[in-house]
Structure formats: structure tokens, C-alpha cells
Structure 1
Amino acid sequence: MSTASYFVPALLWQVELEIKRSKFLTFAANASNREDAEALIRSLREQHPQASHVCWAYIAGEPNTTVRSMSDDGEPSGTAGMPMLKILQHSGFGDIVVAVVRYFGGTKLGTGGLQRAYSEAVSAVLKDLPTTLKVSRSALTLVFDYEYDGSVGRLISRYDVADMQAKYDQQVTVTLAIADTEIQAFHDEVIDVCSGKIIVQMDSGVVE
């Protein structure tokens, strides 16, 4: 089931923690798909070739998507990636990747210490992360006669609509992206204002 709206990172964000002389550089960024998430991870590996570990987790899509993954990157199993992913899962964020670049400081933290350190690192980067609200939208195409152009235009102005384009041929064709929460109400109203003389086509994909 689609999430109507959720917060996503507005930009690449970084914080740094030092725990028992180990440095934890934590990054958070927008990732609406696996490719975006993995691109950041590769970039950080290239920028920090001397790092002991580059551990990561991501939710690439809305908060309840199954497109998610994580990695301990050589840390003891379950001490980095999973704690990081759990923080993300409870954060309510979507379209997000976090990566922690660790420079070992000479003191072993132990299993529990590592879990706490990586959880703390992700919590810290999320605390003041600049965000933007992402609204799940679906694409609609409307085809109607010229006589209804004014009425449809006034109706559209009352709804949460983006990316609207109009084409004027033998009939008017309008394409737009409307908030998923408003589709049914809009559909019912536009049918009414056009006295049923309108074609409404919906794209099943989500428009960002």
C-alpha cells in the first residue's frame, strides 16, 4: 500500500562522532532507488580508501518499501548494518541511504559497543537532517471538449497538482500529477463538472 507522504533528505548531510578514539563519519542522502544508494556508498569508499570500514543501510523508496538493504562491511555480523537499518525503519524517513565511515582508533568496542556506536551515529545524522516532504502522486490524463476548459481549470486549481500540461487539438488534453490522497475526490468532481463527457486515464505508476 502506498504511503501518501513522507519526509526525505533534502541534501547530503554529515556528522562526525569520536568513540574511544575511533572516528565515525556518518553520511545521509536521498536515495529513491538502489542505484542512488549504491552510488553514494561507492563514492565514500573512493574518498576514504584508508577507512577501516564503510558500513551502510538504505530504504530506497517509501518507508514501507521492501527495497532496503544493509552491510556490516567486515565488522562482526549484526553489529553495524542491522542496527543502522533499524534506526531508519523507526525514523519514518523514505528515499534515504546512510553510511558510516569508521577509522579504527586502536580500542576494540566489543559487540554491544559497536551496535551502540553505529546506532548512535545514525541517530546523530538524522537529528538535524534537512528534509523535504515527498507527496506520492499518480499521473492523470484528461480529455474533454473546449466548453469545459474553464470549469476543469478552476477545479484543478483547488487540488494538490504538479507537472500540469495542456494540449489543444480537436479536444483539450490535460496531463497532471495529483496527490494520491485526492485522486478519488478529483475524479468524481471532474466527471460531474463535465457532465460525464470526459475521458480520465490514470497511470498506475507513482510520479515524483
Structure 2
Amino acid sequence: MPTAPPGPNSYTTLAAGQDFRNEIAIRRSRFITVLRRVEDETGARALVAELRREFYGARHHCSAFVLGPGRSVRRSNDDGEPSGTAGAPMLDALLKHGSGAGTVPSADLSDVCAVVVRYFGGILLGAGGLVRAYSESVGTALELAPLVRRNRLQLFTVSVPHADAGRVENELRTAGCVMTGNSYGAERTDVGLAIADDAAVIAAVQDRLASLSAGHSTLVPVGVDWVDAAS
């Protein structure tokens, strides 16, 4: 059996496919929050650049992002607001989202970039007011945004005689495995499958496979993958 890679095997992220936007007004200033799911720093910085072009008349385009299953990459930028009043509270909102009731069971949000575009309304908010405004802007957007669980799966192949491939594949699918495709040799079929990264689940599949093949077939690890849980 393979050893699971270090770090969490599940985390929360923004649903893929499109940005999520939300706007709030605080003392005549407009705070437009844009959330995007990103895979790396390049993707996060691309979002900031896009919004600078779209909202070219805005005074500030503040940003924060968290990346990786273990949330190892964390960045924020005040973009001209007083130091620590914009990017830091935005990042804090990302890191703390879900600690309590709501759509996320624990504070594990990652692979998300938040940009808050501010149009100044003519009334100074002060340092404390800015911290609250940027935190509220991101926090409110996260409460409304579509979030999903992203799970790490262990990838395996199972070598079986051609005549047994269909039966084994159906049994493994019934056991909850995700089938990833087959490859064919002269005499045997390599059945591809993915299993939740959980030692007990993997052991149960191995036991079922041993029963199906009279002990002749075993799981061969070939890697890992991350997939969004079905909604």
C-alpha cells in the first residue's frame, strides 16, 4: 500500500468556472469584491491586472490570496491604502472563513484570490474603519460565494485477465471507486481507478479485490490527483 503524501487530504475552495462578485457601500465608498479560484501566484496576479484594466477609475485594487492544500502560500497587498488596513484584513478573512457555522466545516479555504476594488466616496474611514470595511467586504462575499470540497484521491491500476475486466470494473465502481480508464496488453487489462486518500477505505477496496480475484490481483499505486466533490 502507498504512503499518503503529507498534508491535508481535503480542503475547501471556490467552485471552478467563473468569478464571484459582490459589492457593499460604506459611507459612500464602494467596495467591489471579486473572488477567483486560482492555482498559483501567476493566476492571482493576473486577476489583479485584469481588474485594474476593468476598474481603471478606482483608487485602490487591494488583494489577498491563499494557495495550496496546506495553505502554504499567503500574500496580500494594500495598494496604496495605509499599511495593514486592507490586504492584511482581507487575508485574515480568507484564512478564518469557516471557523464556526456556515458552508465550510473548518477554516481550510485555499486556492482563492480576493481583490477588493474601492471607489472613494469622499469620507475618510480612518484606519479602524478601513480594516473593518475590507474584512467585511471579503467576508460577505465568501458567505455568498459557491464553495466546494476538493479531495485528494490515490490513483491505482489493477491487472486482470481480459475476460474478468468488466466484472472487476463494475465491482470496484460499486465499491465507490472512480474509474479512470483502462489500458490493454496482450493478455491482461490494466484497470485504472481512484480511491479516497484514506487508509481504511483503500484497505477495504484491496480486500474486496482480493476476494474477486482469489488473491491474484492487487492495487498498484500510480500517483495522486485532486478532484472537486460532486455537489
1:50 paired to 2:49? no
Superposition pairs of residues 113-192 of structure 1, within 5 angstroms: 113-146=129-162, 148-162=164-178, 164-169=180-185, 170-181=187-198, 182-192=201-211
Alignment partner, residue 103 of structure 2? none
Shift in Å, 1:59: 1.7
Alignment partner, residue 39 of structure 1? 46
Q: 2:209 corresponds to which letter in structure 1?
A: V
Alignment partner, residue 26 of structure 1? 33
Could you say if the C-alpha distance between residues 204 and 117 of structure 1 is closer, same or farther in structure 2, counting changes exceeding 3 Å?
same
| CA–CA separation in structure 2 for the residues paired with 1:6 and 1:66 | 13
When the two structures are superposed, what TM-score results if normalisation uses the length of structure 2? 0.79
Shift in Å, 1:70: 1.5
Alpha-carbon RMSD: 2.2
- 1:163-196 per-position Cα deviation (integer Å, ceiling 9, x unaligned): 5201232211122332213334323432443344
| CA–CA separation in structure 2 for the residues paired with 1:85 and 1:49 | 23
What is the identity percentage for the equivalent residue pairs of Structure 1 and Structure 2?
34
1:6 to 3, 8, 11: 11
| CA–CA separation in structure 2 for the residues paired with 1:70 and 1:203 | 37
1:99 to 85, 100, 115: 115
1:79 paired to 2:96? no
Quick check: 1:144–1:199 contact (8 Å CA) kept in 2? no
Q: 2:136 corresponds to which letter in structure 1?
A: E
Q: 1:27 corresponds to which letter in structure 2?
A: V
- 1:90-118 per-position Cα deviation (integer Å, ceiling 9, x unaligned): 22322211110111122221211111010
Q: Secondary structure at the match of 1:51?
A: coil
Quick check: 1:58–1:68 contact (8 Å CA) kept in 2? yes
1:112 paired to 2:128? yes
| CA–CA separation in structure 2 for the residues paired with 1:120 and 1:141 | 48
Alignment partner, residue 3 of structure 2? none
Tell me the number of residue pairs that the alignment of Structure 1 and Structure 2 aligns.
207
| CA–CA separation in structure 2 for the residues paired with 1:143 and 1:161 | 16
| CA–CA separation in structure 2 for the residues paired with 1:96 and 1:13 | 11
Consecutive unaligned residues in structure 1, runs of 5 or more: none
1:193 paired to 2:198? no
Alignment partner, residue 90 of structure 1? 96
| CA–CA separation in structure 2 for the residues paired with 1:158 and 1:195 | 19
Shift in Å, 1:151: 4.8
**Range moving further from structure 2, 34-43 or 23-32:** 34-43
Alignment partner, residue 221 of structure 2? 202
1:65 paired to 2:71? yes
Shift in Å, 1:37: 2.1
Q: Secondary structure at the match of 1:136?
A: strand
| CA–CA separation in structure 2 for the residues paired with 1:163 and 1:97 | 32
Shift in Å, 1:119: 0.4
- 1:22-62 per-position Cα deviation (integer Å, ceiling 9, x unaligned): 11100112123323322222211121122111111112232
Quick check: 2:206–2:218 contact (8 Å CA) kept in 1? no
Q: Secondary structure at the match of 2:219?
A: strand
Consecutive unaligned residues in structure 2, runs of 5 or more: 1-5, 98-106
